[in-house]
Amino acid sequence: MSILEVKNVGKRFGGLQALSEVNLSVKENSVHAIIGPNGAGKSTLLNCLVGKLIPDTGSVMFDGQSVLGRAPYEINQMGISRVFQTPEIFGDLTVLENMMIPCFAKRDGAFELNALSAVLSQKDILEKAEHMLEEMNMADKRHMHAAAMSRGDKRRLEIGMCLSQEPRLLLLDEPTAGMARADTNNTIDLLKQISDERDITIAIIEHDMHVVFSLANRITVLAQGTPLVEDDPQNIRGNPKVREAYLGESA
Amino acid sequence: MFNLNKKDLSLLIIVAVLTLFAPFILNPFPAGSAMAQFNAGYPDLMQRFVIFGIFAIGFNILFGLTGYLSFGHAAFLGVGSYAAVWMFKLLSMNVIPAILLAVIVSGLFSLLIGFVSLRRSGIYFSILTLAFAQMMFALAYSVLTPITGGETGLQLALNDPRILGVSQTAEGNIPVPGLFGLEMRDSADLVIGGWVFTFNVGYYFCALVLLASFYLSIRIFRSPFGMMLRAVKSNQQRMNYTGLNTRPYTLAAFVISGMYAGLAGGLMASMDPLAGAERMQWTASGEVVLMTILGGAGTLIGPVLGAGFIKYFENIFSKINDNVLHSWFSFLPDGLEDAVVFIIHPFIGKGWHLTLGILFMLVVIFLPGGLVEGGQRIRGWLKNRKTKDNGSASHETNPAE
Amino acid sequence: MDAIILQILNGLDKGSAYALIALGLTLIFGTLGVVNFAHGALFMIGAFCAVTLSRILTLSHTIIDETQKDFLGNPLKVEVPYVHDLFGQATGDAIIDWAVPLSVLFAIPIMILVGVVMERGLIKHFYKRPHADQILVTFGLAIVLQEVIKYFYGANPIPTPAPAAFKGSLDFGAMLGFDPNLIIYPYWRIIYFGFAAVIIGGVFAFLQFTTFGMVVRAGMADRETVGLLGINIDKRFTIMFGIAAAVAGLAGVMYTPINSPNYHMGMDFLVLSFVVVVVGGMGSLPGAVLAGFLLGVLESFASMREVIDIIPGINQIIIYLVAIIILLTRPRGLMGRKGVMED
């Protein structure tokens, strides 16, 4: 049963055909990696999924509903959460507040004029945020300014914020880019744990083969804006077309 | 109490004590003494303190929380004033309906202008709000003269209908704004020794409104809505990808702050029932920005401090003249005395704006958090010194407010 | 037809001033990424350079002229400008008469100096601060500059006439074959327009044809990369700031005969110039110039009686109205580049 169906998606920027005839099917509760050399159109594809870009052709269905033409916040409310390449968090707010905001978004929807009740009186939200912080092992940092944390912690917080929304699909855009090896391994372990323990589908765009092969149980290789092959990790390793297009240069 | 935590409650109590005892606090010098000219406890000035305080509190809800810098907020104050004066002309001299209409009308204007301006952010937003305000100013000054009174401003007249009141008093005068029989201009003097303290109905009315406004702003700051506004300032991208629609949040903040401005405008008209276009000019918008920044944008008490500070020193500095300076520095040798007076001269009297400009630059450069940050730094410094004296090395990090 | 030509001409001089100020604003914004609310003050300082020079030139000493007597028969005291002593009476008078054009030379070094001091002393520290902080600190600076000028020169406008040779008007209509006196246009406004055209052309040529200009343009497009090439961008940008200040200052100098300078003229022009920059497209030099003239002419058309009769008050708000419409329909302005201040 696939949760995300991308059919015939094409996107053009001026003279550049960034995506053409992209077909992709992400199975529920899988970890699906999208890999490809630089300029293969991975980020463009991701932006088409979350509403930042609207593809010129094709359709994107999430859980049977089209996401095209919806604003990012609407798509998020449908159940897709996104983790950015550089962690996007609320730097001026405390870690606890960072964690509370997605909880509010989950409970109250895209807008709620809740201007007279105190934040501290929202016991359910507080409880949920605290719980999530503990799960992310950052309860001791709850009163810290988020901007003051290390990059690894910011990444952890961002993933935690996404998880607290209980999304059905978690999209990650090169989550370990620019990270030290130790932080990368921590992130891999965290994502593994998430996919094992939760009822969640993960789609990950990644450059680092170590990350991809540690996590993914399904891989799509994108080259020049179009999928080359979609298969299981062991088959991808052995696929000569993939080796030629991608792994040949980096493996 | 009031559903506030201890810290906020004490802040509210401090503001309450300061405003309610202002006639004493601001009149430290005996009447008739040489220093009496520096007393600020007369009704007109005290009213301005609190009215601009309300204006700045409202502006801070927009700028301090969301970071959207509006350069046209005076327009809403102006609109509020016009609305209130019209209420005095048409309905009655009771200030309640006048202020209500002022808030409603300015709310409608800010809804319209905010809806358009908030489609853009950053400097574009600032310039859009500036453009709208200048447009309203220009129109109020020229074609809308039948509604706004144009250059002379909107004034009450003896032949105004005043459906629920009287067109003129028994003595043939224009009636004055009041609240169920209490006239806003009524004052009672309390004489203690050489001191004269004036208690003015209008001032206390404004002060109560200020307290209510301040209380409301605390509630907004501490609410989920307030947290969302701070999140907008911090990272709009994350907001969008967290399923939150930023547009209605910013628009709500804009309208709330516009209504605060309208409230201030309505109060202004209630104290002195006339309204002029110059209240809407962009320099007036700049002034509220100054107050908020100077006090400390994004803090609760900052805007009130900033408004009080600017209005107080405007009053004091404009009154100091060379004679006063000479008397102050008379202990210096003659040549030196003249030199000092000569140096200070450009900054006093009519030079108050120069002082203000310099002060403002210094604050933006060295103290972006305004007076509140200054206070915190001093407190931190004192604390540090204390702990050093005690020889303890506790490094406590307080989450900044 | 004649009315239309007249309005276009009328719009040109104001449009020239808008274009010159907007050009400098855009240069500063494009190169330094700074939103300079004190730019109007530079325009005003330029205007007061003209006032200052004409005061210097008319500095006088008193002599007793034995040849003239007052009605009591005493010798008359006459004020004689020092320039008379230096250059003789005829040349001296001519110099005083030509004070405004001469101020251009006087103003260039002063304005460059003011600009450089401003950039090094203040603006430099705000490159990395948020735009709101830049707006606020330059707004504060604008207040200070205007108050300083007010302190020294007073609050009233100071008439600063054009040279006698340029007083009077050109009958432009007669030249085109219309009836005489239908389209008359003061000489000085023609001069102002020509002057603005020369300055604008000069700035563009400078940016287009010199190595210095090329580096600056490259820096406007991508500051980081140019910095990585080992070129000292900062120094060039400081000079650019000086040039932008000079452009604004010269616009002010030459504007004095059209409108007597007062201390708040900078602020008056600044608000409109910002609107001009935004309409033209933040960071686009041709856009700033185009929008400057366009809005100047539009404003002039909106002031026609025929137009005001249909839509009262339109002359007061046309510029703002156009700006609002442009910002909402073409968020990048007329000629704005992608990625410049888009958020």
Average pLDDT over residues A150-173: 91
Query: Are B90 and B225 in the same domain?
Result: yes
Contact yes or no, B with A (3+ CB pairs under 8 Å)? yes
CA distance C320 to chain B (A): 5
Sequence-distant (6+) residues with CB within 8 A of A18 are A11, A12, A41, A44, A225
Q: Report if residue C93 sits inside a domain.
A: yes
Q: Report if residue B93 sits inside a domain.
A: yes
Query: Are B267 and B329 in the same domain?
Result: no
| Contact call for C313 and B139, based on CB within 8 A | yes
DSSP B223: S
Distance CA B257, CA B122 (A): 18
Query: Are B258 and B359 in the same domain?
Result: no
Q: Report if residue A106 sits inside a domain.
A: no
What does the radius of gyration of chain B's CA atoms come to, in whole angstroms?
23
A65-66 vs A57-62, strand pairing mode: antiparallel
Q: Report if residue A179 sits inside a domain.
A: yes
SS3 state of residue A169: strand
A185 DSSP β-pair partners: none
Q: Report if residue C136 sits inside a domain.
A: yes
B260 touches chain A (CB under 8 A): no
Contact yes or no, A with C (3+ CB pairs under 8 Å)? no
User: What is the residue range of A217's domain?
Assistant: 2-89+151-247
For residues C180 and C174, the answer to whether their CB atoms sit within 8 Å is yes
pLDDT exceeds 60 at position A250: no
Instruction: Choose between B22 and B349: higher pLDDT.
Output: B22
Distance CA C99, CA C320 (A): 36
Q: Report if residue C191 sits inside a domain.
A: yes
Structure tokens, C81: 């400008």
Average pLDDT over residues A17-32: 90
Q: How many domains does chain B have?
A: 2
| CA-closest candidate to residue A75, choices B244, B196, B278 | B244
Query: Are B228 and B151 in the same domain?
Result: yes
For residues B207 and B20, the answer to whether their CB atoms sit within 8 Å is yes
Query: Are B254 and B332 in the same domain?
Result: no
- Cα dist from B181 to B95, B175, B207, B351, whole Å: 11, 11, 19, 42
User: What is the residue range of B45's domain?
Assistant: 6-300
Q: What is the CATH number of the domain that holds A52?
A: 3.40.50.300
Q: Report if residue A104 sits inside a domain.
A: no
Structure tokens, A218: 């399904």
Per-residue pLDDT of B286-296, as tens digits, reads: 889 989 988 99
Chain C residue numbers with beta carbons less than 8 Å from the beta carbon of B366 are: none
Sequence-distant (6+) residues with CB within 8 A of C105 are none
Looking at residue B42, its pLDDT comes to 81
A166 touches chain B (CB under 8 A): no
ipTM, 2 dp: 0.90
Query: Are B166 and B263 in the same domain?
Result: yes
Distance CA B255, CA B265 (A): 15
Per-residue pLDDT of C132-181, as tens digits, reads: 788 888 888 998 998 899 888 888 888 888 887 777 777 777 777 777 77
CA distance B129 to chain C (A): 9
Q: Report if residue B401 sits inside a domain.
A: no
**B233 vs A72, A92, A105: nearest CB:** A92
Q: Report if residue A120 sits inside a domain.
A: no
Query: Are B249 and B380 in the same domain?
Result: no
User: What is the residue range of C309's domain?
Assistant: 2-329
Per-residue pLDDT of A202-227, as tens digits, reads: 999 988 888 888 899 899 988 888 88
Confidence band, pLDDT 50/70/90 cuts, at residue B101: very high
For residues C46 and C250, the answer to whether their CB atoms sit within 8 Å is yes
Give the position of tokens 């009186």.
A121
Q: Report if residue B312 sits inside a domain.
A: no
Per-residue pLDDT of chain C (343 residues; tens, 9 = 90+): 677 788 888 888 888 888 988 988 888 887 777 888 888 999 999 999 999 998 888 888 888 877 777 777 777 777 888 888 788 778 888 888 888 888 888 899 999 999 999 999 888 888 888 877 888 888 889 989 988 998 888 888 888 888 877 777 777 777 777 777 777 778 888 888 899 999 999 999 988 888 888 887 777 777 667 766 767 777 877 888 899 999 999 999 988 888 888 888 887 788 888 888 888 887 788 889 999 999 999 988 888 877 888 887 788 788 888 888 887 788 777 877 665 544 4
Structure tokens, B99: 């202020």
Average pLDDT over residues A147-175: 91
B179 φ, ψ (degrees, to nearest 5):
-130, 100
| Selected residues 221-250 of chain B with any CB under 8 Å from a CB in chain A | 222-228, 230-231, 233-235, 237-245, 248-249
DSSP C70: -
- Cα dist from B156 to B82, B161, C241, whole Å: 11, 10, 52
Looking at residue C339, its pLDDT comes to 52
pLDDT exceeds 60 at position A55: yes
**C321 vs B119, B135, B144: nearest CB:** B135
Structure tokens, C85: 């002593």
Structure tokens, A210: 């170590």
Q: How many domains does chain A have?
A: 1
| Contact call for A115 and B226, based on CB within 8 A | yes
Q: Report if residue A94 sits inside a domain.
A: no
Q: Report if residue C304 sits inside a domain.
A: yes
Q: Report if residue C76 sits inside a domain.
A: yes
Q: How many domains does chain C have?
A: 1
Q: Report if residue A16 sits inside a domain.
A: yes
Distance CA C68, CA C75 (A): 6
The amino acid sitting at A89 is I
Q: Report if residue A137 sits inside a domain.
A: no
CA distance B159 to chain A (A): 44
> Does this model's pTM top 0.90?
no
| Contact call for C278 and B127, based on CB within 8 A | yes
Confidence band, pLDDT 50/70/90 cuts, at residue B121: confident
Per-residue pLDDT of A224-246, as tens digits, reads: 888 888 888 888 887 887 777 76
Q: Report if residue C213 sits inside a domain.
A: yes
| Contact call for B222 and A120, based on CB within 8 A | yes
Instruction: Choose between B348 and C297: higher pLDDT.
Output: C297
B127 touches chain A (CB under 8 A): no
Confidence band, pLDDT 50/70/90 cuts, at residue B396: very low
Distance CA A21, CA A9 (A): 5
Distance CA B234, CA B61 (A): 15
List the subunits that have 3+ CB pairs under 8 angstroms with C: B
Contact yes or no, B with C (3+ CB pairs under 8 Å)? yes
Distance CA C184, CA C66 (A): 47
List the subunits that have 3+ CB pairs under 8 angstroms with B: A, C
Distance CA C212, CA B286 (A): 38
Q: What percent of chain A is modeled with pLDDT above 90? A: 47
A170 DSSP β-pair partners: A81, A202
**Burial of C203: CB neighbours in 10 Å, binned 0-12, 13-18, 19+:** buried
Distance CA A203, CA B156 (A): 69
